[in-house]
Amino acid sequence: MRVSFGTDGVRGVANREVTPELALALGRASVRVLGVDRIHVGRDTRVSGPALAAAVIAGVCAEGADAIDLGVVPTPAVAYATRAGSAGVVISASHNPFDDNGLKVFAPGGRKLTDLEQNQMEEVLAGLLDGSAQLGPTGAAMGIQLNPDGELDAYVTSVLAALEGRHLSGLKVVVDSANGANSSIGPSVLTKAGAQVVALHDSPDGTNINAGCGSTHPESLCQAVVDQQADVGIAFDGDADRLLAVDELGNLVDGDQLLALFAVDLRDRGLLTADTVVVTVMSNLGFRQAMAAKGVQVVDTAVGDRHVLEAMTSGGFSLGGEQSGHIIARHQSTTGDGLLSALMLLDLRSRAGRAMSDLASSAMNRLPQVLVNVVTPSRIPDVAERLKSDTALMEDEMAGEGRILLRPSGTEPVIRVMVEAPTEDQARSVAERLADKVRALPG
């Protein structure tokens, strides 16, 4: 059996694609490939989580390493726990429905796996799952399961350090935890920081994670912020590695706007390395225009937080992220962290003394963005090159005030046509015309 181990591990329907047998093998493979003697294991609130976590822990111990069961914790808390040289495994499917689950591995130091390590994981998993791999140690050479020893407290201390001793007194915040991994930690930490917190969707039952709530469904949060007359709303996703915000008027503040705010704030405080922020090609053109106007350089990467991290590491940059709300502050964390981002945002709001709506609107002018997904008979990896002249003509029509992105999906025969323009009508018109060009391509 061959398992495809991508940048976020393996994800699928629990007990079908993501089985206890796979989890057991992944625990064993993580020890073999990474060569560690200790692995931290954390999960979100899905009903399948305990069974999969138990299997991962069994696999780790069967390979002679010790397993620390962190229980229900945010994904970045597991990454933080690996800072002293252990590895980490997270059982979560992030923003997916509750019946899905996934297995993600952090290498020592909280980093994502390299391409070589991913390939090695796939090879070792294949051998373990088909029974051809060598057996593990026996007797006293086997590992044991350990209880946490202050790891979560250390993580909380690390994110609170973003406040640099300041507090959030005077701010009223509605926090939507998506019935996920931040359901207890998120509201507790923000309260400890001094904010008045109204908790929303913080009662997980194993099946309600992401169900009509959280960063993928912020409608109830938007209404609650207005009803509660709150200053800010915060929406986490299921595993709490990203967030979106809501201003006091009930308007959504997306990842591009948050990054624009953070970039200028960190730059002004001398904390933005090389006055540069790293984003993916999907970030709004309005973000790029705002950064250019404010003297902040922008580095583009392919879609995916792994690519953002790679560019940040190679360039030594301190801030990067995605429109979806994955934000990485490398001076504080090795991975996207919704709780850290929330503290950064609320601290900025407190120091500025301005309404969230005012801050968000002044950060950037978000251009209308239209995305059309074109299903094709087969994959067309060179679609951008084949339609290069058509794309250039349509960009000329927008006279430098718009942007076109044409890219194939990495997982299915779909071409994504994204267009930004000064008006939604113009963006939609260009997108549909270019989509027709895609559909007319020979198979």
Instruction: Give strand pairing partners of 405.
Output: 418
Q: With the CA atoms of 59, 63, 68 and 74 taken in that order, what torsion angle do they form, in degrees rounded to the nearest 10?
A: -50
- Measured distance CA(406)–CA(416) in Å, rounded: 6
pTM, two decimal places: 0.92
Give strand ranges (E) for 111-185: 145-146, 172-176
Per-residue pLDDT tens digits for 288-309: 999 999 999 999 998 888 889 9
Backbone torsions φ then ψ of 198, nearest 5 degrees: -110, 115
Task: Establish whether 184 is a catalytic residue.
Answer: no
pLDDT given at position 244: 96
- If you write DSSP's letter for every residue of 225-269 in order, what string do you get? HHHTT-SEEEEE-TTSS-EEEE-TTS-EE-HHHHHHHHHHHHHHT
| pLDDT at residue 290 in the model | 96
pLDDT digits (tens, 9 = 90+) for 44-82: 999 999 999 999 999 999 999 999 999 999 999 999 999
Cα 301 to Cα 112, 311, 320, distances in angstroms: 16, 7, 10
Q: Please indicate whether the domains covering 155-363 and 369-439 agree at the CATH topology level.
A: no
* Domain ranges, ordered by start, for the chain: 10-149, 155-363, 369-439
Gap between the Cα atoms of 106 and 87, Å rounded: 6
Strand 172-176 relative to strand 196-200: parallel, antiparallel, unpaired? parallel
- CA triple 304-308-310, angle to 5 deg: 115
Domain 155-363 top-level CATH class: alpha beta
Helix axes 356-363, 338-352, angle to 10 degrees: 100
- Given a cut of 50, the residues of the chain with pLDDT beneath it are none
Its CATH class, for the domain covering 10-149, is alpha beta
| pLDDT attached to residue 1 | 60
Q: Of these residues, 30, 86, 94, 350, which one is catalytic?
A: 94
CATH number of the 369-439 domain:
3.30.310.50
CB burial of residue 229 (10 Å; 0-12, 13-18, 19+): exposed
